[in-house]
Structure 1
Amino acid sequence: MSSDGEKVRTSGEVSRPEPTLPTVNPAVDKSEPPKPAFHPAVYVSVWIALSSSVILFNKHILDYAQFRFPIILTTWHLAFATFMTQLLARTTTLLDGRKTVKMTGRVYLRAIVPIGLFFSLSLICGNVTYLYLSVAFIQMLKATTPVAVLFATWGMGMAPVNYKVLMNVSIIVVGVVIASFGEIKFVMIGFLFQIGGIIFEATRLVMVQRLLSSAEYKMDPLVSLYYFAPVCAVMNGVTALFLEVPNLTMGHIYNVGVWTLLANAVVAFLLNVSVVFLIGKTSSLVMTLCGVLKDILLVVASMMIWQTPVTGLQFFGYSIALVGLVYYKLGGDKIKEYAGQANRAWAEYGVTHPAQRKFIIIGAGLLIFFLLMGSMAPSYAPEQVASVKGMLGGATAGNA
């Protein structure tokens, strides 16, 4: 009994731990809040705006501003890009990706220089084309670029020949051929330069694909420009030295404007920067459709700014080419899948936001109406069109 009582007294004397407040371990790293990012639509819109601006800007300088030195203009773009990439490499982290590229003198001579040669040729041919063809027709011809890339891929042994794919891309070719027959201001030398530029660009893209197939040479577009711009600037500069520099005077530069040429180079460089930020922000569907939208907007802009005549046959042929382009890049199954998702999303949006849906439909209808009226404006309001062209810097001469 005494032992039992002793046990009771002993157990009663045991002190219980006092409650304590929870503490934070200072050794544990605090999770950083997510950094604010722009909506993907912002990146896409900036890319479309810059890409379209470069094309319209080049057309204005080379044709309407009478600065008929396409090789010199290309050299200026590449020299500016070389300076800016070197500056960004030393002051920002945008080009840190170059540190993972195992670039040696041997690789530079055997891979970068040949690719740079085709890059230079494609840029030269592309700029020379602006002297002869309209922006609208150039964009129609550029729809054949995937076809040229496909043939270059087969020719270099990067993929086996697939006749089913060949039948798919033939739709693009048929559409462009129809559009070419409908072109009013068809100039053969300009057509040949554009086709040459497409072939050189397709060859360059396949060579870049082969280079990037190795994990040691993975590069984003800005890092690629860091390596390619210097060698391309030298190649184009040497070519311009013999073909165009003897005919160039300071009067030509002052006629265009030093600030205009500087702004042109800045816009061209910002386009490359925008591509870096765009990568990974959107799907292949969005990029394909945005590319088609950009081409259509350029055709419309050419019609409205420079009164470029576009026939019904061209519209018909270009529509066929664009449909073939989307089908080739996405495939029939993907198109059906995306179409089903879009229909369901549109129906759900109509149920939850009926007023906004009606507003979108009315707005789209008005936009199409004004675009059509704007394209026909030269026929019923020539004085107003001339006034707008004067404000935009357009000229009556040149190949609209």
Structure 2
Amino acid sequence: MADEPHAVLPVEPGLSRSKSELCCNPVSKLGGRCALSVYTSRSQHRLPMSVPAARRPKGQEMGDVQSGADSHQFRMFGLSKIVIAVVASVAWMAVSSALILLNKDLLSHGFHYPMALSGLGMAFSGGASFVCCRVLKVVDAKKSMTLSFYCTKILPVGLFMALTLHFGNLVYLYLTVAFIQMLKAFTPIITMLSLFIARLESPSRRLILSVSFIALGTATASAGEVNLNYTGVFIMLLSEIFESIRLVMTQLLLTGLRFHPIEGLMYLAPACTFWLIIGSLILEFRPMLESGAFLLMAERPAKFLAAAMMGFAVNSLAYIVIQSASSLTLKVLGTVKNALVVCLGIVLLAETVTGLQGFGYGISIAAFFWYQRIKMQQIASEARTAALSSVANGSSSVIISSGGDKGLPQYRSVPSLDRLDDAGKK
């Protein structure tokens, strides 16, 4: 994509210019200028505008076109961003798919300990993110963290993150890779119910209808499964429930923190690893000793190290995709990736997928895209309402992007035209 998706703030009729707020596209900050867009309710058209960084001379038109050099620089910037988005998207799909197949291979050939495997991956992610933030300074991590805050906010989220990973890996001991990817389409239903119970969301009729079709498609796919294992289905359901609880707790406990994703991983990964180590010591340590699992790790270190590195790579690439495209792009890519893994399971692992399964999965995918469209329309509507309320109340906080984490609109204070003039006078 050429730039971050951004909302254009409407200007109500009758408002003076001093009360009009501008939506600033952060990608367009080139050549000492800030490219702005104003959306007037009278004309219902976008008016391209360009404002110097310091102070515009009085009387100069606000709609001046940028110089040819700036325009060329902007086009090159947009092109490079598209290339980054495409490369990151392909890399994320490839690494994520490879990680699924590698975990399936490790768990199916002697190492039947999903909690220990998840702990290895999260420990590596925590260490790698710490190096990025504190040693290499690749990420500007300035947030301070008290022990009290960590124990009351981070550790609870880490617990449900650990449960999600444990059951998400455990299910590979019971179900085929292809069928697991089909069951993942059921996740939006669990998430919507969890948000509704926590009173964080009020689903509309269209949203309920879309998730009902997802449920219908998933049920159809399950009915067509040749080697249906009810224990495996229950474990997969637990993984999705714990994932939805994790999302709800993240919204309730960590709202407003605005961590960089790698910085957030630096704090969450150790918390998740802590719970996984405790669980593994209680449930898996003795069986691992008796079965010689530690010797297996010593014999195949490359595979275990690769699995740990891929886990961190998936998180890092997901962040790049969100930054260069949007969170919606990542969700769509996730659906495409799941379908790709279904095909890989058929080709590489000789798994059986019946026609009824394929039909049900097709219904789930179509309903999922409908669900995402409804969600984005809902977010846009809420953002517009918030913007109108902001203008009515004289606030200068405006929406600049819908591409943040989890698709939530991002806010930033932008000065009005008169404030720009005042800044120049000072």
Contact kept in structure 2, 1:172 and 1:322, CA below 8 Å: yes
Provide structure 2 residue ranges, at least 5 long, that are not aligned to the other structure. 1-69, 378-426
TM-superposed CA distance for 1:277, in Å, is: 1.6
Task: Answer yes or no: is 1:277 the counterpart of 2:308.
Answer: no
1:43 aligns with 2:83: no
Q: What amino acid does structure 1 have at the position aligned with 2:301?
A: V
Root mean square deviation, CA, Å: 2.4
Alignment of 1:142-221 (within 5 A): 142-214=184-256, 217-221=257-261
Q: CA deviation at 1:212?
A: 4.7
Give the fraction of aligned pairs with identical amino acids, expressed as a percent.
32
Superposition deviation, residue 107 in structure 1: 2.2
1:298 aligns with 2:338: no
Which of 80, 92, 105 aligns to 1:60? It is 105
Which of 1 and 2 has greater Rg?
1
Once residues 201 and 333 of structure 1 are traced to their aligned partners in structure 2, the CA distance between those partners, rounded to angstroms, is 21
Structure 1: runs of 5+ lacking an equivalent: 1-30, 335-400
Structure 1 position 253, deviation (Å) = 2.0
Q: Which one-letter code corresponds to 2:320 in the other structure?
A: F
Deviations 1:245-278 (A, max 9, x none): 11222333245x0111111111111111112222
Q: Which protein is richer in helix relative to its size?
A: 1
Distance apart, 1:90 and its partner CA: 2.3
2:15 maps to which residue? none
| Candidates 212, 233, 237, aligned match of 2:277 | 237
For the 8 Å contact 1:221–1:275, the answer to whether it is kept is no
Tell me, yes or no, if structure 1 residue 73 matches structure 2 residue 113.
no
CA drift of 1:92 comes to 2.5
Structure 2 CA distance for partners of 1:117 and 1:333, relative to 1, 3 Å: closer
2: CA distance, partners of 1:333 / 1:50: 27
Q: Structure 2 residue aligned with 1:310, among 330, 334, 353?
A: 353
Shift in alpha-carbon separation, 1:157–1:265, aligned structure 2, 3 A: same
Return the offset for 1:241: 0.8
Q: Note the alpha carbon deviations across 1:311-359, whole angstroms, 9 max, x for none.
A: 000000000000000000013997xxxxxxxxxxxxxxxxxxxxxxxxx
Normalising by structure 2, we get a TM-score of: 0.66
Deviation at 1:234, TM superposition (A): 1.4
Asked if 1:91 corresponds to 2:135, the answer is yes
1:328 aligns with 2:350: no
The one-letter code matched in structure 1 to 2:113 is: F
Give 3-state SS (helix, strand or coil) of 1:226's partner: helix
In 2, distance between residues paired with 1:102 and 1:329?
35
C-alpha distance in structure 2 between counterparts of 1:175 and 1:79, whole Å: 37
| Contact 2:95–2:313 (CA under 8 A) maintained in structure 1 | yes
- After alignment, is 315-324 or 68-77 more displaced? 68-77
Shift of 1:111: 1.5
- Tell me, in whole angstroms, the C-alpha distance in 2 between the residues paired with 1:226 and 1:61: 26
User: Under a length normalisation based on structure 1, what TM-score does the superposition of the two structures give?
Assistant: 0.70
Once residues 190 and 208 of structure 2 are traced to their aligned partners in structure 1, the CA distance between those partners, rounded to angstroms, is 11
- Equivalents in 1 of 2:323, 2:271: separation in Å? 29
Is the 2:210–2:371 contact (alpha carbons within 8 Å) kept by the matching residues of 1? yes
- Asked if 2 retains the 8 angstrom alpha-carbon contact of 1:125 and 1:193, the reply is yes
Work out the CA distance in 2 between the residues paired with 1:224 and 1:125: 22
1:259 aligned to which of 285, 302, 313 = 302
Distance 1:286 1:113, change over 3 A: closer
Matched positions, count: 299
For residue 222 of structure 1, give the secondary structure of its aligned residue in structure 2: helix
Instruction: Give 1:243 deviation, angstroms.
Output: 1.1
Please give the secondary structure, in 2, of the residue aligned with 1:160: coil
Letter aligned with residue 179 of structure 2 = F
